[in-house]
Chains A and B, each alone.
Chain A
Amino acid sequence: MMRYEYRHWLAGLLLLLGAVSAHAVVNGYKYPFDDPDDIARFQHLAEELRCPKCQNQNLADSNAPVAGDMRDKVYELMNNGQTDEQIIDYLVARYGDFVHYKPPVRAETYVLWFGPLLAFLLGLLILRQMRRNQKAAPAPLTAEERQQLEQLKAAVSADSSNDQKANNS
């Protein structure tokens, strides 16, 4: 039992040692970090930030020199103890909202944020309207209409009995 615990500790220690020399590998470049949580943070930031040069890629994927500079800056700011929010704000202040894949909620982005919801609600409304129209039971016949119906029925049955007679003869 004692021995088992000892091995447990050893494994933990090895893991810790491994973590000390760990680094994030982004686009072939190594970014060493002391804290394994920071590796995930760095990777997340590099994926959430957008390269202004090759506009369909994030900082992690882009080979553009400016993307490399921006990655280095993110790394530097992280090591200076800045929070994710501060780092994103730093880049947005220089490159604009464009660099962040998540646009801010502002008057000019309301359509972007709430447009789909609006379209969905409109769709629901239309769907409900269509269903209601389908299900609506036909209005009961008025006395006049009923009378007409009876006359038509009488005429049809008179017709068919005449036909039968004609066939029989």
Chain B
Amino acid sequence: MNRFILFVPLVGFTILAGLFFLTIDRKDKDVLPSPLVGQPFPEFEMVSLETGEVVTRDDLLGKRALVNVWATWCPTCKAEHSFLNLLAAEGIRIYGINYKDEERKAIQWLASYGNPYRWNLSDTNGQLGLELGVYGAPETFLLDSRGIIRGRHVGDLNARVWSTLEPEFESLP
């Protein structure tokens, strides 16, 4: 019994080492889970970047869609842009939130790299971003036809990421 106590530190160390080993390879350790998954997309009333027309939450409803948060100051947004063009060409609805950006630059960007978005909101002061818990760009929200947020991806959207997100997206009502 007395000898057994000598092994307590070893057992403790082994448990800790095991826990650390399990998490050492986690790629997404900086990604925060969104508490908004399962919640309705926040209400908004803003003007479209392209036409200046007023768009509201109702304009998101009807069909499952992606809502992509992007900005011209964000290099990763540039990296994922061609993939968004590809998805849009496949007929997937993508709405854009131009986050904390300059409208002039954003319009220029869409003109030169192509516009995969149905429409864009210009969230110059980041208030909608705040409502959505956005903490960096790019971020992509999965939305069902009733406007409920069903998932969020932080970072680059590419073919590899989409292969895991697509089944989830296709299963949305």
Task: List residues of chain A with CB under 8 Å of any chain B CB.
Answer: 52-53, 55, 64-66, 69-70, 73, 92-98, 126, 129-130, 133
- What is the CA–CA distance of A95 and B20 in the complex, to the nearest angstrom? 26
- What is the CA–CA distance of A100 and B60 in the complex, to the nearest angstrom? 31
For A94, list chain B residues within 8 Å (CB).
35-36, 130-133
CB under 8 Å from chain A, chain B span 66-113: 100
For A95, list chain B residues within 8 Å (CB).
32, 35, 133, 135
B136–A66 CB distance below 8 A: yes
CB under 8 Å from chain A, chain B span 1-25: 2, 5, 8
Query: Which single member of B2, B34, B125, B135 contacts A53 (CB below 8 Å)?
Result: B135
Additional A-B contacts beyond A66-B126, A96-B133 (8; CB < 8 A): A53-B135, A53-B136, A69-B127, A93-B35, A94-B130, A95-B32, A96-B34, A98-B32
Given contacts A55-B30, A65-B126, contact A126 B8 (CB under 8 A): yes
- What is the CA–CA distance of A120 and B30 in the complex, to the nearest angstrom? 31
Give per-residue flags for B116-127: 1 if the beta carbon is below 8 A from chain A beta carbons, else 0. 000000000111
| B134 sits at the interface (CB 8 A) | yes
A70–B35 CB distance below 8 A: no
Quote the shortest CB–CB distance from A83 to chain B (angstroms). Answer: 19
For A70, list chain B residues within 8 Å (CB).
130
Quote the shortest CB–CB distance from B152 to chain A (angstroms). Answer: 11
| B167 sits at the interface (CB 8 A) | no
B32–A92 CB distance below 8 A: no
The total of chain B residues at the interface (CB under 8 A) is 21
For B131, list chain A residues within 8 Å (CB).
94
A65–B5 CB distance below 8 A: no
- What is the CA–CA distance of A93 and B149 in the complex, to the nearest angstrom? 14
- What is the CA–CA distance of A13 and B7 in the complex, to the nearest angstrom? 69
B2–A133 CB distance below 8 A: yes
Quote the shortest CB–CB distance from B116 to chain A (angstroms). Answer: 25
For A69, list chain B residues within 8 Å (CB).
125-127, 129-130
Q: Which 6 A-B pairs have CB atoms at the shortest separation, nearest pair first? A: A52-B135, A94-B133, A95-B133, A96-B35, A69-B126, A53-B135
B130–A52 CB distance below 8 A: no
B73 to chain A: closest residue by CB: A65
- What is the CA–CA distance of A52 and B31 in the complex, to the nearest angstrom? 9
Among B30, B33, B34, B134, chain A packs the most CB atoms within 10 A around the CB of B134
B133–A129 CB distance below 8 A: no
For B130, list chain A residues within 8 Å (CB).
66, 69-70, 73, 94
Quote the shortest CB–CB distance from A69 to chain B (angstroms). Answer: 5
Query: Which single member of B8, B32, B127 contacts A52 (CB below 8 Å)?
Result: B32
- What is the CA–CA distance of A129 and B8 in the complex, to the nearest angstrom? 13
